Chain A
Amino acid sequence: MFELPSGAEIQSIIASLRMSVGFFIPEIYLSVLFMLLIVIDLVAKGRKNNLLSITTLLGLGGTTFFIYQQHFMPAGELFFGMYVLDEFALFFKYFFVLSGMLAVIITMADRQFDREVKSMGEYYALIIAMVIGMIMMASSADMLMIFISMELVSFTAYILTGYFKRNPRSSEAALKYLVYGAVSSGLMVYGFSLIYGLTAQTNLINICSELSQHGYDPLLMILATLLILAGFGYKIGAVPFHFWAPDVYEGAPTPITAYLSVASKAAGFALLMRFFYIAIPHGGPAYEDIIGINWVSLLVLISVASMIYGNVVALWQKNVKRLLAYSSIAHAGYLLLGIIVMDAFGTQSTLFYLLSYFLMNFGAFYVVILIANKTGSENLEDYRGLGKKMPLAGAALTVFLISLVGLPPTLGFIGKLMIFSALLAKGSLYIWLALIGIMTSVISLYYYMLIPLNMYLRESPESEEKNMNPGLIANILMAALMFLTIYFGLFFQPLSDFAKYSSAMFGLRLY
């Protein structure tokens, strides 16, 4: 039997909790916003207006204020080592809030919602819930917390994927997502339990110190790592845990696709980096098993497979959303390259790449939505001749795609430059990885260019003069995203400095 804690102990626990709460304000604020949105939905039931979306947008915008204040707080663990506040987490908080806002904005632009669903009801509340979950993923310092926050994100994502209830593709996507998600989180929990068995700890830092003090069975450890990687790999959409991605991306409402492909992937990367940088001991005797593989070589395998598979399979895609799904698998591979190098520069370049991916991928999906509003289709064939009818959309999409390929003068080029620089700064060790990355990005040019090819080089079969202007606000937003993609491609210093600042975990430089 456990002994009940004494009064003094309870007092100290409460005191500690109260102290931690002060560092938890953005999350609390978002939870309040979540409930507020449900109430607003109940009050304004049935009315189709922008009340919900505007509230969400403003609410999310307000979060940045609270996050900004956290810059001045000391970095460290909260809630008995469950949670952590550091520059790394702050980076992702901004990232998720901004991507949430962009998701709301492009939801407002998407006309498919008008056709498919009666009310937007819980949609915005669920997006907020997902933002909270992702923020918690990026801030978790404990395996239990990791699991809970990951499930919070997954469950909201399942619902949002299937939000078009009467659309069979949407429901199919949600079910597939659910099944794969359940399996992989089950595997991950098994991996966690193995590590708990090794160390009797759930806190990442304690795990690290236990492992380095007492040693471990390498075979068991590599098994645990593999299982945990299954969970993380599912979130980042890397081969071989990617099977859900194309169907879900194609079936889900496009704003959710964009959101999943950027924010959910980034959350997976946040977890991956934090777990492997913190929990696994570094610098000691090589963490290797009898067959000579360690977790870095596992990541190398996953990364290479993702780059090759994603880029090659994308060549045959006829649907733009599906094409972008495979491209996002490939980008997971590029992002992993920055983690593999395992140094400060690598972390910085991964964070930078995430920022560039954020801008160009959201931009691309936004244009895809605007085009689908007018043509009602996401098929490559229906893009024929659109360059002439929608000049700005065509130009913007071309810029985003060029950026995804990684050509200058766009942000995507700088992202690739940083990643490959990080690889080559290690000397000749990872040159072959850089070579694979480079070669696959040449392959990617072919399928990305299929879209401008259809838009500009081919004539549209029907020539009736429909009004194809997406509207003033959409044009401004599109132009702004395009401008930023190019501007930051030429003057990337602020983003890169921010990424460097954010590469500190637990308030200390780890290398």
Chain B
Amino acid sequence: MLSLIVFLPIIAGLVILAVPSSQKQIIRIVSLLAALAQGVLAVLIWRGYDPSLPGITAGPGGSPLGSFQFVEKLPWISLKLGGLGSLNIEYFLGVDGISVTMVILTALVSAIGVLSSWTIQKQVKGYFILYNLLASAMMGCFVALDFFLFYVFWELMLLPMYFLIGIWGGPNREYAAIKFFLYTLFGSVFMLLVMIGLYFSVIDPVTGNHTFSLVAMANQANYIKSAILGPDNVMWRYVAFSVLFVGFAIKVPMFPFHTWLPDAHVEAPTPISVILAGVLLKLGTYGMMRINFPLFPEVFHASLYVIGIFGAINIIYGAFCALAQQDLKKMVAYSSISHMGYVLLGLAAGNTEGMVGALYQMFNHGTITAMLFLLVGVIYDRAHTRQIDKFGGLASYMPVYAAFVTVAWFASLGLPGLSGFISEAFVFVGAFSSVTTRYIAMVSVLGIVFGAAYLLWSLQRMFLGQRKQDAAYDLVVGDDGHEHIHFHDWKGKLDLDGRELTMLVPLLVITIFLGIYPMPILGLITTSVNKLVEVLSPLAMR
């Protein structure tokens, strides 16, 4: 099941390879079918998932696989190394509460991304091959339970992303693409060293060999005391934690490693922005929850304060930057940075409320930002500009669009009744109830105010009032005697068309539904998060 959901897009990519590049429609449909099949599988996984099993790690005495579900475990590579026994790498997939939500999110966002890619006209074949490769790699990251496998998927994302930004991006795409590539590679090469170090420090309790299994690594009893990352080597454990954290923080992106994100977003085509904000950023925080924290719980506890402070900086700094932006997409990009700050803050709280809030925020941010970027793409398609001050009074001419924007914007700023509110509330409840992050949380609350400021302000400037002098569109009086707006060289429907609605409506429904009744997601994650908090708690440590 998991193998299928991971490799379906790659299979679709291989099929596309055989299709002649002039058959654009077939290529798109093959991709869409793969994405839909992925969605069906995700629903099956969701329905078949037993939320009472915690996952995270194999407890003492329990099954060596832990209580992971849909597990697939095959020996992949077993090398004999000179003088060191053997190197064992496993093809080890499985989900628990943390990853199953991300699997659902990834399937959802990938499918919407395919729909959004329908307007891509340049080199369609190459685009969808790379897109499918990216979709597979993302899914693989979320279900891999072997560190080596995780790393392979993690790095596999970079190259397609580089080309997707670099070939189909905006005018400054070369710079944005290589910046993205260098930043993320910089983070991940250190992960490679930590991975090797961990390998030599951990023993699989069943086989007695060294192992890359994250399940085994998450249990501190499996570490060799004197090994390089064993419990005795305190200094190197701190170093390893830090470099892993930086590696993941670059992906989040956390201040001060965030500068690649606005560039990448501004240059990337809409569907890639959606994927980037919807899924890729989550990989950073997912990696922290899956790898960084459970493997080094004592360092995690020592650095709660630092993580919290960086979370607060992200929230406030991101909001301030968003406030200053003229480019709508850049504003949304900075709002992403701000919202990922809540995730960091929730993680820093270190308790169940905060962690649940963080994970739920990851899911909600995925759906809401996907919506935001799609909406930015809609207006960019029509007006060929994203400058906020080139618009004005759009609400009266594009009412449906304005309605969607309003709901999305409000969801993003955390209005009660929409999903963003619940996750942010959880984060703050968690952060306030933890002694370490209490004061940080107090400061971070300001972020909500600034968030409301930039979102409402942009809403006002674009959709209310009158058409601006130098607006990106003209006003013409139509046959019915009413004024309409006219975009230069835009021949499609003025307001949202069917394809755009197909993408936006599901996201909107999810946002509203999860805002009223969050249990479908919270029910999935709570047991696992409780277990994670238990693993991370100082009592559980030796």
| Contact surface of A with B, Cβ cutoff 8 Å | 343-348, 388, 398, 402, 407-409, 413, 416-417, 420-421, 424-425, 427-428, 431, 434-435, 438-439, 441-442, 445-446, 449, 452-453, 456-458, 491-493, 496-497, 500, 503, 511
Contacts and interface: CB of A to CB of B under 8 A. Distances in A.
A25 B163 CA distance: 51
Given A441-B189, A442-B185, A402 B77 contact: no
A442 B189 contact: yes
Contacts of B190: 438
Instruction: Please indicate which of the listed interface residues A347, A428, A458 has the most CB atoms of chain B within 10 Å of its own CB.
Output: A428
B186 A420 contact: no
Contact of A493 (B79, B159, B196): B79
Contacts of A428: 228, 233, 236
Contact of A457 (B83, B87, B152, B167): B167
A402 B159 contact: yes
Contact of B228 (A344, A420, A424, A452): A424
Interface string B189-233: 110110011011000000000000000000000000000100001
A345 B199 CA distance: 15
Nearest to A402: B159
B388 interface: no
A347 B166 contact: no
A433 B78 CA distance: 27
Interface stretch (B43-51, B170-178, B444-452): B170-178
Interface string B126-168: 0000000000000000000000000110011011001100110
Contacts of B186: 442
A453 B166 contact: yes
A449 B181 contact: yes
24 contacts: A343-B82, A345-B82, A346-B82, A348-B82, A388-B123, A398-B159, A402-B159, A407-B158, A408-B156, A421-B81, A421-B196, A424-B228, A427-B228, A431-B236, A435-B193, A441-B189, A442-B185, A445-B185, A453-B166, A453-B174, A457-B167, A457-B174, A493-B79, A496-B80
Interface residues of B, number: 39
A445 B188 CA distance: 13
Contact of A407 (B155, B166, B173, B174): B155
Given A407-B159, A496-B79, A424 B167 contact: no
Given A348-B81, A492-B77, A425 B159 contact: no
Contact of B162 (A449, A497, A503): A449
Contacts of B18: none
A35 B186 CA distance: 53
Contacts of A449: 162, 178, 181
Given A438-B190, A453-B166, 4 more contacts: A344-B83, A345-B81, A457-B174, A500-B82
Given A421-B196, A424-B193, A427-B228, A497 B80 contact: yes
9 closest Cβ contacts across the A-B interface? A344-B82, A408-B152, A345-B82, A438-B189, A344-B83, A457-B166, A348-B82, A424-B196, A408-B155
Interface of B: 77-84, 87, 123, 151-152, 155-156, 158-159, 162-163, 166-167, 173-174, 177-178, 181-182, 185-186, 189-190, 192-193, 196-197, 199-200, 228, 233, 236
B217 to A, nearest CB: 15
A417 B163 contact: no
B77 A491 contact: yes
A464 to B, nearest CB: 19
A339 B221 CA distance: 34
A296 B80 CA distance: 26
Given A449-B162, A453-B166, A343 B83 contact: yes
Contacts of B87: 421
A417 B81 CA distance: 13
A435 B239 CA distance: 12
Contact of A445 (B152, B166, B182): B182
B182 A446 contact: yes
A500 B81 contact: yes
Contacts of B123: 388
A446 B178 contact: yes
Contacts of B78: 493
A332 B78 CA distance: 28
A500 B159 CA distance: 32
A346 B83 CA distance: 10
B257 to A, nearest CB: 14
Contacts of B189: 438-439, 441-442
Nearest to B239: A431
Given A457-B173, A457-B174, A409 B228 contact: no
B193 A497 contact: no
A417 B159 CA distance: 19
B178 A425 contact: no
Nearest to A345: B82
A511 B159 CA distance: 41
Nearest to B197: A424
Contact of B196 (A409, A417, A445, A511): A417
A439 B156 CA distance: 19
A296 to B, nearest CB: 18
B207 to A, nearest CB: 17
A453 B178 contact: yes
B79 A497 contact: yes
Contacts of A491: 77
A456 B166 contact: yes
Contacts of B156: 408-409
Contacts of A456: 163, 166-167
Contacts of A458: 174
A290 B228 CA distance: 31
Contacts of A497: 79-80
A420 B163 contact: no
B409 to A, nearest CB: 34
A102 to B, nearest CB: 26
Nearest to B236: A428
Contacts of B84: 345, 425
A232 to B, nearest CB: 23
A353 to B, nearest CB: 14
A453 B167 CA distance: 9
A343 B83 CA distance: 8
A138 to B, nearest CB: 19
Instruction: Please indicate which of the listed interface residues B162, B178, B189, B193 has the most CB atoms of chain A within 10 Å of its own CB.
Output: B189
Contact of B181 (A424, A435, A438, A445): A445
